[in-house]
Amino acid sequence: MTLFKLPLLGLALILLGLGAAGCVPPGGTASDAESDADFRAGTSRKKAGNYTRAIESFERVLQKNPGSAAAHFELGLIYYQHITNYVSAIYHFDRLQRLQPGFSRIDVVRQMIKVCKQELVQDAMGGFNVQMQRELERLERVTQENAALRQELAQLQAQLKEREARPQLAETGLVLRALESQRAPRTEGSGETAIRQAQMPSTRPVTLYTVKRGETIYSIAKRYGLTEAALRAANPTVVPTQMSAGQVLRIPSH
């Protein structure tokens, strides 16, 4: 219960005390109220704290007499003080001030209507704040998940670059080993033979072939009617298990 509601609740209790003392309820004389069995039952049940049954009794009074300001007054107080149904309290207090605008404590009734409306606004704002907090928490979770996904993507990209670099490194290693083998000590007469072979014109033309995705050294050799060994011999720096699309092979004639 809010602080500004406390003094108004005290005023409402004063009104109830006056009614219990036998003061005339709004909208009729004491005999009018006492003559209605449902009104008397509602008053008795209200005093006993049986507010649900009291509401039923006062509602029956309104079914018989929709213009009963006294019944609206009692229902408004029950909904305002005990049931905490501000919409219903506003409705019955508003009906009271329309039916009997000259009621001696109409200012108190109007103030209670104002308080009920303020309570409704605060309840709505409270629900809005809860929803807003949930949305902020959800946004925070999504932000954290996105950050984790970005980190995972960066790791995958680094792994992909590393794998792409491995064939190149392997090919470079083969080239270096081939160069080292050329620097090995030559046997007698091998130098003259190599010079003569270099001076002789090549009698075997070579075709260059660009490897396509999914091809293997075996499938390429079969395409050109070569053995796998012949194709590998023509490409000593190529590692068959690490071939990739775009790589260029030498296709010897046969």
Cα separation, 156 vs 146, whole angstroms: 15
Interval 102-131 mean pLDDT = 84
pLDDT in tens, 230-250: 989 999 999 988 899 999 999
pTM above 0.85, yes or no: no
> What is residue 174's predicted lDDT score, i.e. its pLDDT?
66
CATH architecture of 5-124: Alpha Horseshoe (1.25)
User: Lowest-pLDDT range, 112-126, 143-157, 167-181, 216-230?
Assistant: 167-181
Q: Which two tokens stand for residue 145?
A: 């998940």
Task: Answer yes or no: is pLDDT of 117 > 90.
Answer: yes
The sign one gets for the Cα dihedral 200, 201, 205, 206 is: positive
| pLDDT band per the 50, 70, 90 thresholds, residue 86 | very high
> What is residue 9's predicted lDDT score, i.e. its pLDDT?
52
Fold of 206-254: Membrane-bound Lytic Murein Transglycosylase D; Chain A (3.10.350)
Contact 100, 71 (CB under 8 A): no
pLDDT in tens, 43-80: 999 999 999 999 999 999 999 999 898 999 999 999 99
What ranges do the domains of the chain cover?
Answer: 5-124, 206-254
Cα separation, 236 vs 129, whole angstroms: 72
Q: Does 7 or 88 have the greater pLDDT score?
A: 88
pLDDT in tens, 123-174: 888 766 666 677 777 777 887 888 888 888 888 888 888 887 776 666 666 6
Summary mean pLDDT of the chain? 78
